[in-house]
């Protein structure tokens, strides 16, 4: 199973999850052109995408969903409330398919498990995506106000985690946002700070977790090196030493093969936790 983020941050999010037979996008928060450009840069043709799964209606997650669906005939999966909240993105000619949180559904040989999050949107979810054949599970959790019991339960035991590490608390306080926006971001319905993400990741790491990709970093109120440092320090005494990187807003990550990341962890890692 392979995974890549085409980009991540408040100006757009999209994650590619692929097996040999099936490819899906979780969110499509870039223009149709950018989505196509970025996946082609990874050697993936937009025509080959089997589904777009939308997590919530915020523009940085749905921006190109309509045009991508019309251009390539790709089905779009979304909840009824999310569909209502972003109906201006669609013209009626797209293949829109409803799903509900806590009701897993299949796309080819992938199984998508959506679960409710706490975030200031109509019906926000995050997902895990599981390969039916290989059993590999990827968690995609980018807009989390706070980790609830249900979120903890859903993300436990993933083989690869994409986890929001949105802001540095100090940069948020001293940054350019007015107090109302600061309050929204930091609230329990906003976004996880670097420290909150790191504490959450400490709960989630386990010997078979091959990698963590930090996502949705704020351009204004975060730096990749800060997010990585906080995460690295917090995980240091867990014994976990898998792959760790931060996704960028303007360029895709490599297409990461999860089995290969796990091989690179080596046998020492597996005995540590």
**d(C-alpha 101, C-alpha 42), whole Å:** 30
CA 158 to chain centre: 13
Which residue, chain included where needed, has tokens 């706070």?
146
Is 143 an interacting residue with respect to Zn ion (CB under 5 A)?
A: yes
* Among 27, 60, 94, 130, interactor with Zn ion by CB under 5 A: 60
* Least separation in angstroms between CB 73 and Zn ion: 26
* Least separation in angstroms between CB 148 and Zn ion: 16
Per CB under 5 A, which of residues 184..243 are in contact with Zn ion?
A: none
Number of residues that bind Zn ion (CB under 5 A): 3
If we measure between CA atoms, which residue out of 245, 252, 261, 258 comes closest to residue 40?
252
Order across the sheet with 137-141: list the strands: 105-107, 110-116, 125-131, 137-141, 160-164, 211-215, 243-246
Is 63 an interacting residue with respect to Zn ion (CB under 5 A)?
A: no
Nearer to Zn ion, 130 or 143 (CB): 143
Return the CA Rg of the chain.
Answer: 17
Nearer to Zn ion, 54 or 158 (CB): 54
* Least separation in angstroms between CB 61 and Zn ion: 6
All residues at 6 or more sequence positions from 198 whose CB lies less than 8 Å from its CB, including other chains: 165, 230, 231, 233, 234, 235
Per CB under 5 A, which of residues 95..114 are in contact with Zn ion?
A: none
Angle at 189 between CA 184 and CA 193, to 5 degrees: 75
- Binding segment toward Zn ion, per CB under 5 A, in 58-66, 167-175, 180-188, 259-267: 58-66
- Binding segment toward Zn ion, per CB under 5 A, in 31-39, 78-86, 140-148, 226-234: 140-148
* Among 2, 23, 38, 58, interactor with Zn ion by CB under 5 A: 58
Structure tokens belonging to residue 143:
């807009």
Is 123 an interacting residue with respect to Zn ion (CB under 5 A)?
A: no
Nearer to Zn ion, 121 or 205 (CB): 121
Query: Which positions touch Zn ion (CB under 5 A)?
Result: 58, 60, 143
């Amino acid at each position: 199973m392979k995974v890549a983020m085409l980009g991540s941050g408040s100006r757009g999010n999209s994650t590619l999850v692929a097996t040999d037979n099936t490819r899906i996008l979780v969110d499509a928060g870039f223009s149709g052109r950018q989505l196509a450009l970025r996946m082609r840069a990874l050697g993936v043709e937009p025509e080959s995408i089997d589904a777009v799964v939308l997590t919530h209606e915020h523009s940085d997650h749905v921006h190109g969903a309509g045009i991508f669906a019309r251009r390539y005939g790709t089905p779009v999966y979304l909840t009824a409330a999310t569909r209502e909240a972003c109906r201006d993105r669609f013209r009626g000619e797209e293949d829109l398919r409803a799903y509900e949180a806590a009701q897993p559904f299949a796309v080819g040989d992938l199984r998508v498990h959506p679960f409710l999050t706490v975030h200031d949107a109509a019906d926000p979810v995050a997902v895990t995506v599981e390969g039916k054949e290989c059993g590999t599970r990827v968690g995609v959790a980018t807009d989390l106000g706070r980790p609830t019991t249900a979120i903890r339960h859903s993300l436990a035991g993933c083989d690869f985690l994409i986890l929001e590490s949105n802001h540095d608390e100090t940069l948020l306080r001293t940054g350019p946002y007015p107090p109302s926006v600061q309050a929204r971001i930091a609230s329990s319905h906003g976004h996880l700070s670097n420290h909150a993400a790191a504490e959450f990741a400490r709960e989630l790491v386990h010997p078979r977790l091959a990698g963590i990709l930090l996502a949705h970093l704020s351009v204004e109120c975060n730096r990749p090196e800060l997010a990585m440092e906080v995460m690295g320090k917090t995980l240091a005494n867990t014994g976990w030493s898998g792959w760790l990187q931060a996704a960028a807003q303007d360029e895709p990550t490599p297409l990461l093969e999860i089995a290969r990341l796990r091989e690179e962890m080596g046998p020492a890692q597996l005995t540590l936790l």
